[in-house]
């Protein structure tokens, strides 16, 4: 199988490409943004599946997906994300994506999901469709505002303030203020400890 993978985070891009090549024996073309992905397709690339990061430069969320499908209606597109809320998984499928893959997915699960979508099926993790997992409202998460939960989720995924700011379309100084508030509410000494506390509480 031949995969086009577009993600601006080099570590994620390289890790997923390695998974697909080693576990799935796939040929992977990896690029760093939406524009590069479209150029690869326009150059006549014949891919079994295109994986697009929901938050990368040029993507603009579902707008990028819609534009990609409009330009390449016969191509199969799926979305990758590490921070998008549950509703996005349902929304991108409604807009024409053949699946939604969380960046926390392990190697074997990723390969199985990709094979499933290439076979003509639609893939969305069951816990997202059921409204559980990422974004779940729990006693722990209720102590935070929606924005604080989004920032905390970014911390749990190892994002820098700059990355979180870009993904949430906020100023970096605003993210710093949210991180400070989160540390205070969690009685954490720093962002790393805040993330550890959140993970221990089952927050994702």
Residue pLDDT, tens place only, 41-66 = 999 778 999 999 998 999 988 999 99
For residue 128, pLDDT beyond 80? no
Contacts 24+ apart (CB under 8 A), 195-202: 195/152, 195/155, 195/156, 195/158, 198/140, 198/152, 198/155, 198/156, 199/156, 201/138, 201/140, 202/138, 202/140
Domain count, the chain: 2
Q: What are the residue ranges of helices labelled H in 27-106?
A: 34-42, 62-71, 86-94
Q: Please give the pLDDT value at position 204.
A: 62
Q: Please give the pLDDT value at position 135.
A: 46
Average pLDDT of the segment spanning 100-113: 87
Looking at the structure, tell me whether residues 169 and 97 fall in a common domain.
no
Handedness of CA 55, 56, 57, 61 (dihedral sign): negative
**CA neighbor of 136 nearest in space, from 199, 94, 77, 85:** 85
Contact yes or no for 29/16 (Cβ under 8 A): no
Contact yes or no for 45/39 (Cβ under 8 A): no
Which residues neighbour 57 within 8 Å (Cβ) at sequence distance 6 or greater?
Answer: 8, 33, 34, 35
> Of 101, 129, 157, at which residue does a domain stop?
129
For 143, which DSSP code?
G
For 82, which DSSP code?
S
What does the alpha-carbon distance between residue 130 and residue 133 come to, in Å, rounded to a whole number? 9
Range of the domain at 103: 2-129
CA dihedral of 162, 147, 6, 133, whole degrees rounded to 10: 130
Looking at the structure, tell me whether residues 122 and 148 fall in a common domain.
no
Q: Which residue has the higher pLDDT, 134 or 50?
A: 50
CATH number, domain containing residue 196: 1.10.10.10
- Mean pLDDT taken over the chain: 88
> Of 76, 103, 129, at which residue does a domain stop?
129
Q: Please give the pLDDT value at position 26.
A: 94
Average pLDDT of the segment spanning 33-42: 95
Average pLDDT of the segment spanning 78-91: 84
Q: Is 139 helix (H, G, I), strand (E, B) or coil?
A: coil
Looking at the structure, tell me whether residues 18 and 58 fall in a common domain.
yes
Q: Is 118 helix (H, G, I), strand (E, B) or coil?
A: helix
Q: Please give the pLDDT value at position 129.
A: 64
Q: Please give the pLDDT value at position 167.
A: 82
Terminal Cα distance for the chain, rounded:
31
- Top mean-pLDDT range of 70-74, 103-107, 108-112: 70-74
Average pLDDT of the segment spanning 84-108: 86
Is 44 part of a structural domain of the chain?
A: yes
For residue 5, pLDDT beyond 60? yes
pLDDT in tens, 170-194: 899 999 999 999 999 999 999 999 9
For residue 136, pLDDT beyond 60? no
């Amino acid at each position: 199988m031949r995969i086009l993978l577009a993600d601006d985070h080099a570590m994620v891009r390289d890790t997923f490409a390695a998974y697909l090549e080693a576990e799935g024996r796939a040929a992977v073309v990896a690029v760093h943004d939406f524009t590069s992905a479209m150029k690869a397709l326009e150059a006549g690339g014949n891919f079994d599946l295109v994986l697009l990061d929901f938050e990368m430069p040029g993507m603009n969320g579902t707008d990028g997906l819609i534009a990609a499908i409009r330009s390449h209606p016969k191509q199969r597109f799926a979305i990758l994300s590490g921070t998008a809320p549950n509703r996005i998984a349902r929304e991108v499928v409604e807009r024409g994506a053949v699946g939604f893959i969380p960046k926390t997915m392990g190697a074997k699960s990723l390969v199985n999901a990709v094979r499933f979508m290439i076979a003509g099926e639609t893939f969305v993790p069951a816990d997202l469709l059921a409204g559980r997992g990422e974004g779940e409202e729990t006693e722990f998460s209720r102590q935070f505002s929606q924005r604080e939960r989004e920032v905390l989720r970014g911390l749990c995924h190892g994002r820098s303030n700059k990355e979180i700011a870009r993904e949430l379309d906020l100023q970096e100084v605003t993210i710093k203020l949210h991180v400070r508030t989160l540390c205070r509410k969690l009685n954490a000494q720093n962002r790393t400890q805040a993330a550890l506390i959140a993970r221990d509480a089952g927050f994702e």
